[in-house]
């Protein structure tokens, strides 16, 4: 699987990354005293362990099927809506696809119209159990997590998905993916759909630090990484480079990292 890695986020400016692949990362991390608590890695799901492209594509396909009078051009977009073209902003994804046969100005207008029509159906389908089983693990992710479990580390899946709408689908996706799911694995989900991912993860991490010796935190979102660096000063911060929200962190990562490296996981293989 090849997938899009966004590079134009302003957060990239002024940061020095240490690029590593997963096997090398485990070799280079310093041992962390866990004070009798089980050692654990905290891992995000969407766009970190799972590529959500198939879920987006399925929700768009369903939208088109339910709108038989949709413009033909909208149907032309579907084959190009893949992991290689999918950005965090679906409107931008649509625009870049439409530019294949429209001017940039025309594509922008048409993408806006398409996104306005698709936004609510997408939100209903994407944040539900319906298509979660389609999420695909990034290449090598399941093997990497298996190696973490074999080393004795526990795994904490800390996701911004909310339990009421997506718990059943998330558990099914974990099973289908082959990701570890045993007594040493734990799933933390938001209790509702209104709480922001950042606020929930900030509260959750304070609980996790009491239960586990957190060795590393893996996420694709800059604002989460900055929060983790501030709240868990003993842990390694690992950025999985895929797609990300345009939201900018409110804190300064370099100050919170202190002498830690900012690891960029470029591949699980």
pLDDT of amino acid 28: 85
pLDDT of residue 27: 87
Phi, psi at residue 261, to the nearest 5°? -85, 155
Q: What are the pLDDT digits (tens) for 62-121?
A: 999 999 899 999 999 999 999 999 999 999 999 999 999 999 999 999 999 999 999 999
Position 26 scores a pLDDT of: 87
Burial of 97 from C-beta contacts in 10 A (0-12 / 13-18 / 19+):
buried
> CA-to-CA distance for 221 and 11, rounded, in angstroms?
10
| Same domain flag for 259 and 242 | yes
Domain boundary (102, 132, 162) is at 132
pLDDT in tens, 206-236: 999 999 999 999 999 999 999 999 999 999 9
Could you tell me if 46 and 59 lie in one domain? Answer: no
| Judgement on whether residues 160 and 220 belong to the same structural domain of the protein | yes
Provide the number of structural domains found in the chain: 2
Residue 3 lies in a domain: no
**DSSP 8-state code for residue 42:** E
Both 142 and 76 in one domain: the answer is no
Residues 62 and 106 grouped into a single domain: yes
Say whether both 69 and 94 belong to one domain. yes
Question: Which residue from 216, 152, 210 is spatially nearest to 183, judged by alpha carbons?
Answer: 152
Q: Residue 110 belongs to what domain range?
A: 53-132
164 pLDDT exceeds 70?
yes
| pLDDT at 184 > cutoff 90 | yes
Contact 86, 93 (CB under 8 A): yes
pTM score of the predicted model = 0.95
pLDDT at 31: 66
- And the tokens for 100? 């294949």
CA-atom Rg of the chain in angstroms: 19
CB 70 within 8 A of CB 64: yes
Same-domain pairing of 44 and 177: yes
Last residue of a domain, one of 97, 132, 167: 132
Residues 150 and 174 in one domain: yes
Cβ partners under 8 Å of residue 49, min gap 6: 43, 137, 138, 141, 145, 157, 177, 179
pLDDT in tens, 22-79: 999 988 887 666 678 999 999 999 999 999 999 999 999 999 999 989 999 999 999 9
């Amino acid at each position: 699987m090849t997938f899009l890695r966004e590079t134009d986020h302003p957060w990239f400016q002024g940061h020095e990354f240490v690029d590593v692949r997963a096997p090398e990362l485990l070799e280079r991390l310093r041992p962390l005293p866990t004070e009798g608590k089980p050692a654990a890695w905290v891992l995000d799901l969407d766009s970190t362990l799972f590529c959500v492209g198939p879920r987006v594509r399925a929700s768009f396909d369903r939208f088109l099927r339910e709108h038989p009078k949709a413009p033909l051009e909208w149907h032309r977009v579907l084959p190009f809506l893949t992991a290689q073209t999918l950005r965090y902003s679906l409107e931008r994804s649509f625009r870049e696809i439409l530019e294949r046969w429209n001017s940039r100005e025309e594509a922008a207008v048409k993408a806006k119209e398409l996104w306005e029509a698709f936004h609510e159906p997408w939100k209903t389908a994407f944040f539900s159990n319906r298509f979660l089983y389609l999420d695909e693990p990034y290449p090598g992710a399941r093997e990497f997590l298996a190696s973490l479990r074999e080393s004795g580390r526990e795994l904490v899946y800390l996701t911004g998905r909310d339990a009421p709408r997506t718990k059943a689908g998330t558990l099914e996706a974990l099973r289908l993916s082959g990701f570890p799911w045993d007594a040493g694995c734990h799933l933390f989900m938001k209790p509702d759909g209104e709480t922001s991912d950042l606020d929930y993860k900030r509260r959750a991490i304070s609980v996790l630090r009491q239960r586990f010796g957190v060795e590393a935190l893996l996420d694709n979102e800059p604002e989460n990484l900055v929060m983790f660096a501030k709240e868990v000063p003993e842990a390694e911060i690992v950025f999985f480079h895929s797609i990300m929200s345009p939201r900018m962190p409110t804190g300064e990562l370099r100050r919170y990292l202190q002498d830690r490296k900012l690891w960029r996981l470029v591949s699980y293989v």
